[in-house]
Amino acid sequence: MIISSSPTTPPQTHPSLHLLSKCTTMEQLKPIHAHIIKTGLHNPPDQIIWNTIIRAYSLTPSPFPAINFYKLMLSSDVKSNPYTFPALFKSCARIDGLNEGKQSHGHVLKLGLCCDAFIHTSLISFYAQVGGLDDARLVFDESPLRDAVSFTAFCFVYCVLFRLLRSNKRSIPNDDISKAYRDFF
């Protein structure tokens, strides 16, 4: 699929494509071809570019554009890969976007990427940050990935839980701490 260099111009209605369809001679084709090459219409952006832009937006003070750019990526028929999702989950966590994150989790499952270590860890952290502690535990429990990184991410879940309990000025009974420890190990 040919993608426009301008996010506001849909690829099917780009002026160069309209001119190309009207072209009848080689002399007419040459300047149109030059314009297509110059504007980059001949090369659809690849995953690396899309992922880099999503990651860059995820690092900004407001990561909403990362999520919107991911939607644009999907609508442009560019396939997600394992590098797409960690930045996306980070953005969802920063905006407290539980629904957006769950939809992205669904994409991970649909693409069969749930066993990727980076995605797995990002999912656990995402759910912990948005208060989906049960979901974080479920991701951890159902995954065959049990390495130092996933255990560290899951420790983060319990840190978030304890921070929430303490911020609510509730004491944490020793039995709950012992249960959390037993559940974890």
Task: For residues 55 and 119, state if they share a domain.
Answer: yes
Q: Are residues 35 and 55 in the same domain?
A: no
SS3 42: coil
Same domain (yes/no): 34, 51: no
* Co-location of 61 and 34 in the same domain: no
Same domain, 68 and 147: yes
Q: Are residues 10 and 70 in the same domain?
A: no
Express each pLDDT in 119-159 by its tens digit. 999 999 899 888 888 898 898 888 887 788 888 887 877 78
Number of domains in the chain: 2
Q: Same domain for 5 and 96?
A: no
Give percent above pLDDT 70 in the chain. Answer: 75
78 and 162, same structural domain?
A: yes
Q: Which of 38-52, 56-70, 93-107, 133-147 has the lowest mean pLDDT?
A: 38-52
H-run or E-run covering 120: helix 117-129
Q: Is 9 found in the same domain as 86?
A: no
Q: How far is CA 74 from CA 25, 69, 85, in A?
A: 36, 9, 13
Domain that holds residue 167: 47-184
Q: Are 16 and 52 part of one and the same domain?
A: no
11 and 83, same domain (yes or no): no
Q: What angle do helix axes 85-94 and 47-58 make, rounded to 10 degrees?
A: 20
Question: 38 and 120 share a domain?
Answer: no
From CA 25, how far away is CA 27, in angstroms rounded? Answer: 5
